[in-house]
Amino acid sequence: MPRYALQIEYHGAPFAGWQRQREQPTVQGAVEAALARLEPGEHTIAAAGRTDAGVHALAQVAHCDLARDWSAFRLSEALNYHLKPAPVAIVACARVADDWHARFLALQRRYLFRILMRRAPATHQAGLVWQVKQDLDVAAMQAGAAQLVGRHDFTTFRSTICQADSPVKTLDRLEVTRVDTPHGPEVHFDVRARSFLHNQVRSFVGTLERVGTGSRTPGQVGEALVARDRAACGPVCPPQGLYLAGVQYPEDPFASPDV
Contacts of residue 35, defined as CB under 8 A and 6 or more positions apart, other chains included, come to: 43, 45, 64, 66, 79
258 has catalytic annotation: no
Q: What is the DSSP string of 16-34?
A: S-SS-BTTB--HHHHHHHH
CATH 3.30.70.660 segments of the chain = 108-245
Out of 52, 98, 153, 252, pick the active-site residue.
Answer: 52
Looking at the domain that runs over 3-105, which CATH code has it been given? Answer: 3.30.70.580
CATH for 108-245 is: 3.30.70.660
Express each pLDDT in 157-216 by its tens digit: 999 899 899 999 999 999 999 999 999 999 999 999 999 999 999 999 999 999 999 999
CATH 3.30.70.580 placement within the chain: 3-105
Segments in the chain below pLDDT 50: none
The H-assigned helical ranges of the chain are 27-38, 72-83, 138-146, 200-213, 218-227
Predicted TM-score (pTM) of this structure: 0.95
Measured from the Cβ of residue 109, the count of other Cβ atoms closer than 10 Å reads 22
Predicted local distance difference test score (pLDDT) of residue 258: 56
pLDDT number for residue 61:
98
